A and B are shown apart, each in its own frame.
Chain A
Amino acid sequence: MTGPLLEVEALSVAFGPKLNPVRAVDAVSFTVNAGEAVGIVGESGSGKSVTSLAILRLVPDPPGRIVGGRIRFAGADLLSLPPARMPEIRGRDIGMIFQEPMSSLNPVMTIGDQITEAVMLHERISARRRRALALEMLDLVGIPNPAERFLSYPHQFSGGMRQRVMIAMALVCRPKLVIADEPTTALDVTIQAQVLALMNRIRSTFGTAILIISHDFGVIAEVADRVVVMYAGRIVEQGDVRSIFRHPAHPYTRGLLQSIPRLEDDRRRLYQIPGSVPAPGARSAGCPFCPRCPDRLPICANAMPPMAEVGPSHHTACWTNPGASVAGAQ
């Protein structure tokens, strides 16, 4: 297969009334190659979760709908598939790990039944082989005594264990891509580290591509090869992890990186980006970050900066980047 595994092109998702819709995701384009880990980072309301839901066409409709763009997965255009075909893709080709391990498992089903459910839907194999597959998966995600825990209910598991079960569920059909929406947000720090190590291990074992969504640069750095930074429904910067961490080109990315507390820091007060994300309805013609930007130029309030190259495989949409005016002139 040539080309990227997942190709999101100018994706736009709108919410609210048809006449006055609010764009939660606006012209977002990025790709995920086979076996690659890509992170989407941004603060609350930046559209990162909606983007991930849109890939599986899980945006709740109403009130949301995908209003433009294309999503190509392994050569197929997901947005033009009839809705009845989507369940074949979900779980089998693209697995999803949710944010809330506490409530993302059905409290009245044994975890064994929940893990085998996806296999039952997508593959015609015997109940014994399904069970064997699920046990193998439970073992792989680090659940001790899988055969015994197979019959346990979710309330008998701690949060970290449930997240492992969720990961086992997402991976049991060996999908080509796993979307993890804030997989560690609800967990405490030591468990976070274990879960991230597990995700890395799974990627190297199965060659699964990972799309990880987080507000936490540390989580992204742990897992991802490439980073997509989103702000107010738009991509403001994307590139490989190293160059974004070393040379963040967009003021928003710089702000996010500076906001990470450090132990050796002796500042009295933690850094913060002034202001907050603009309400989705109240966006102007210019760069959405302009009102909060420390480096704003006169042009910023009036025109949206185009995506322009900063370095090899590193792009940003900012007028302070010298490439932007060149790209804008074209």
Chain B
Amino acid sequence: MAITIASDEPEYARSPSLVATFSRRLLTDPVTLVAVLYLGLLCLVAIFAPLIAPNDPLAQSILQINLPPSRDHWLGTDQFGRDVLSRIIYGSRASLELGLISPLLAALGGSIIGMIGGYFGGIVDRVVGRLIDLLLSFPILLLGIIVAAALGPGFWNLVMALVLAFAPRFARIARASTLSIRNEPFVEAAVAAGVRHPTIIVRHILPNIAGSIAVLITLWISSAIQLEATLSFLGLGTEPPRPSWGNIIRDGLNNLFGSAWPIVSAGFAITLTVLAFNLLGDAVRDVLDPELKE
């Protein structure tokens, strides 16, 4: 037995999806488009490094040290005669791996902890809050140095240092967003429908705070790349002879008067990549933030 009551809302418009909004932004904003194209290219370069790199990044040659750019070595060679372009290409792998993996892991861990604290409140929230404060009180670089010094350099140790540094930042945002969402009537309605707390967190809270977490991820990727370079420069990051942009600069600094090409090239790569990720972050924030939409 159907009830026929005239609809009080005969027509409705489907709001454009986020992907559609983002695509439109790419088409209308050339700066973002360039940044995205650059990052896409960089990812391809990192993935297909062995196919693209003209030389072995580790092959040394006493006969070819400190060469300026030439047809054989587009960006010259360093003090061990290694091809700088190949080292930059292979170095993008270290930067991107770390730059993507550590913010993602930090977002995962931080959001879970922040949501639990914000959702359950009370003593749980206090413990989570103090833990966040404790970790936030360390400068990121100092935290990286402490972990690297305690556990030694190495990729996963570096990831751990960055996750420890970034996670409280995600937790803080996740907690604050959860606090405002959990008082929404739809959460109470879900409880009244018999939904249990873990399911509410995953199905009702998480999708509502995912936007702010996504913005935060894109903003921290560039910081992660910078930190990888910084820690590698300090000798606490990627271990030589494996190339990374940071340790190319470190090696190059000792050889600044032999050849400036390694430092200039690696510095340029870091600058471009960080800039591109920041521009991407801005674009993502604009798309996800309804207040900024026109």
Chain A residues in 8 Å Cβ range of B194: 86-92, 118, 121-122
Contact of B192 with A152 in the complex, beta carbons under 8 Å: no
Residues on B with C-beta less than 8 A from A143 are 7
Given contacts A103-B184, A140-B2, A141-B3, contact A109 B193 (CB under 8 A): no
Say whether B137 faces chain A, with CB atoms less than 8 Å apart.
no
Residues of B within 8 A of A (CB): 1-5, 7-9, 12-15, 184-186, 188-196, 199, 203-204, 207-208
A141 to B1, CA, bound (A): 10
Q: Is A236 an interface residue (CB 8 A)?
A: no
Q: Which residues of B contact A122 (CB under 8 A)?
A: 194
Interface residues of A in 79-105 (CB under 8 A from B): 86-92, 95-96, 98-100, 103-105
Q: Within A130-146, which residues are at the interface with B (CB < 8 Å)? A: 139-144
CB-based contact A198/B5 at 8 Å = yes
Contact assessment for B192 and A98 in the assembled complex, using a CB-CB cutoff below 8 Å: yes
Q: Contacts A87-B196, A98-B189; is A140 near B3 (CB within 8 Å)?
A: yes
Within the complex, which residue of A87, A104, A144 is in contact with B189, where a contact is CB–CB below 8 Å? A104
**Residues A156 and B192 in contact, CB atoms below 8 Å apart:** no
Q: Identify 15 residue pairs between A and B in the complex whose beta-carbon atoms are under 8 Å apart, listed by A's number.
A: A87-B195, A92-B194, A96-B192, A107-B186, A107-B208, A108-B208, A109-B207, A117-B193, A117-B195, A139-B2, A142-B2, A156-B13, A157-B12, A194-B5, A198-B5
Q: Which residues of B contact A166 (CB under 8 A)?
A: 189
Residues 51-98 (chain A) with a chain B CB within 8 angstroms:
56, 58, 86-92, 95-96, 98
Tell me the bound Cα distance from A118 to B186 in angstroms. 13
Contact B15 A155 (CB under 8 A): yes
Q: B189's closest neighbor in chain A, by CB?
A: A104
Residues on A lying within 8 angstroms of B by beta carbon are 56, 58, 86-92, 95-96, 98-100, 103-109, 117-118, 121-122, 139-144, 152-153, 155-158, 160-161, 166, 169-170, 191, 194, 197-198, 201, 205
Q: How far is the CB of A183 from chain B (nearest CB, A)?
A: 12
Q: Which of A104, A156, A157, A161 has the most CB of B within 10 A?
A: A104
Closest-by-CB residue of B relative to A96 is: B192
* Residues in chain B near residue A86, CB distance under 8 A: 194
Complexed CA–CA distance, A267 and B13 (Å) = 47
Contacts of A140 in B (CB 8 A): 1-3
Q: How far is the CA of A197 from the CA of B5 in the complex (A)?
A: 10
A75 to B189, CA, bound (A): 25
Are A90 and B191 in contact (CB-based, < 8 A)? yes
B188 x A91 contact (CB < 8 A):
no
Q: A140-B3, A144-B7 are in contact. Are A109 and B189 (CB under 8 A)?
A: no
Q: Do A201 and B3 have beta carbons less than 8 Å apart?
A: yes
Report B215 CB to chain A, min CB distance, Å.
16
- Chain B: CB-nearest residue to A121: B194
Contact of A158 among B9, B186, B193, B204 (CB under 8 A): B9
* Given contact pairs A117-B203, A139-B2, A160 touches B189 in the complex (Cβ within 8 A): no
Contact of A156 with B15 at beta-carbon distance under 8 Å, contacts A104-B185, A144-B7, A198-B5 already known? yes
What chain A residues lie within 8 Å of B13 (beta carbons)? 156
Name A153's closest neighbour in chain B (CB-CB): B15
Q: A191 contacts which of B8, B184, B186, B192 (Cβ < 8 Å)?
A: B8
With A103-B184, A156-B14, A157-B9 already in contact, 13 other A-B pairs whose C-beta atoms are closer than 8 Å: A58-B191, A90-B194, A98-B185, A99-B185, A104-B186, A106-B190, A117-B193, A118-B193, A139-B2, A143-B7, A156-B12, A158-B9, A161-B8
State A194–B4 Cα separation when bound (angstroms).
Answer: 10
User: What residue in chain A is nearest B209 (Cβ atoms)?
Assistant: A108
Contact B12 A152 (CB under 8 A): yes
